[in-house]
Structures are given as C-alpha cells and as structure tokens.
Homo-oligomer: A and B are copies of this chain.
Amino acid sequence: MATRKTRTERRADLIEAAQRAMLQHGPDGVLLNQVAEQAGLTSGAVLYHYPDLSDLLLEANQAGMERFYSARMRRLAGLTDPVEKLVMTIRSGLPVDADDADVRLLCELGGLAGRNRVYAALLTSLFDRQVSMYQTILETGSAQGAFALTADSLTLGRNLVALEDAYGYRIVARHPTLRTDEAAELILSYARQVTGSSLRVTA
C-alpha cells in the first residue's frame, strides 16, 4: 500500500507521475491506470485527487512549461554580459538530449494545440514570453554597444525562439547528425549575423 500523504504532496506527486506517463504514451494516449502506476497508487486514489483526468494532465503540462521557462530565467539570472546571456539562452532553449523530459513534453503538445484552444493558448503564451526574453537580452546588449542589431528585436526574438523550437523537435526525433551541439551552432550562426557580434566572451 502506498504511504499516505497530504493533499499538496500527493498532488505534486501526481503531476510528476502524469508527466512521466505522458512521456511514454502521449497526452492523448495516456490512461488513468498508467498515471496511477507511475504514482504507485490505484486509479481510485488518482480520481480522489483529480476527479477528471484531463484536469490533471492540463496541470501537469502547465507545470512542465513553467519549469522549462523558469529554468531558463534562472540560468539567465546570474549573468551580466549580453554575449554570455545570449549564448546561454540559446543553449537553454534546446533539449540536453533526445530524452529531455521538458522539451519532449512541449513537443507532445504542439499537435494538440491544433485542436485544443486551451493548449494552443498556453503554447502561444510560452512562445511570446520566450520572445520577450530574447528581446530584453538583445536590446540591452544593443544599448550597451555589444550588439549591432540588423532588424527590430521582435523579428530577431521570434526567429531565435522559432529556431530553438524546431531544432528541439529534430533532436527529440533523434536526427542522426543534428544533435544539441550542432543545433546550437546553427542558431548561433544566425545570432552572430544579426547581432554583428562574434559571440565570443570577452574575458
């Protein structure tokens, strides 16, 4: 029997369990019992906390997005050099490998967004927030003279996020030659061109 836990603890457990289950079976294909199994509980216990499975899945996906986004922001927080910030941010937008849970989860949602307005809105919002993140980096770098932008920051930010997203899909699909390092180089090649910077850290 599973050890009894408080409401809050268990809900957090279930969100993680739902994420794991969705990684294995997809957000559409996942079953109540698979979530329960991941949590080490019975389906009844899951239903006790989330009478509607789709609510749990939504929360789990939302949590996954926030974790991805806030991890990027956190990694950014320590840095001051615009070049470092840009290079780091490009890196943190890519999956570490094909099994990267956060990015895998995001990829699963891409298709869903075509037929579910809620997921569409969530992904759209995530996209826009990431664009803003890049815009801030680009504009402060520009103000500090580190970058000479070749277009408005909205255009550049959108293209940077778009490149990340697309290469995330390729990496997750295990493209034989396009791995994380290669993808980072491809995006950096774009970033160098539009910032007029070599993006080498000036030590």
Which of A64-72, A79-87, A111-119 lies on the face that meets chain B?
A: A111-119
Determine which residue in A23, A104, A165, A176 has the highest number of CB atoms from chain B within 10 A of its CB, and name it. Answer: A165
Which of B107, B175, B176, B193 is close to A110, meaning CB atoms less than 8 Å apart? B107
CA–CA, A2 and B36, complex, Å: 43
Closest to A182 in B: B158
Give the residues in chain B near A155, CB-CB below 8 Å: 186, 189
Selected contact of A111 from candidates B111, B127, B163, B189, CB within 8 Å = B111
Least CB distance from A34 to B in Å reads: 13
Contacting residues, chain B, for A193 (C-beta < 8 A): 150-151, 193-194
Query: In this complex, which of A104, A112, A127, A169 has the most chain B Cβ atoms within 10 angstroms of its Cβ?
Result: A169
Bound Cα distance A29, B111 (Å) = 12
Contact, CB under 8 Å: A127 / B175? yes
Could you tell me the distance between the alpha carbons of A134 and B189 in the complex, rounded to whole angstroms?
Answer: 17
Known: A110-B107, A159-B163, A193-B194. A115 touches B23 (CB 8 A): yes
List residues of A whose CB falls within 8 A of some B CB: 23-29, 98, 104, 107-115, 117, 119-120, 123-124, 127, 150-151, 155, 158-159, 161-167, 169-170, 172-176, 178, 186-187, 189-190, 193-194
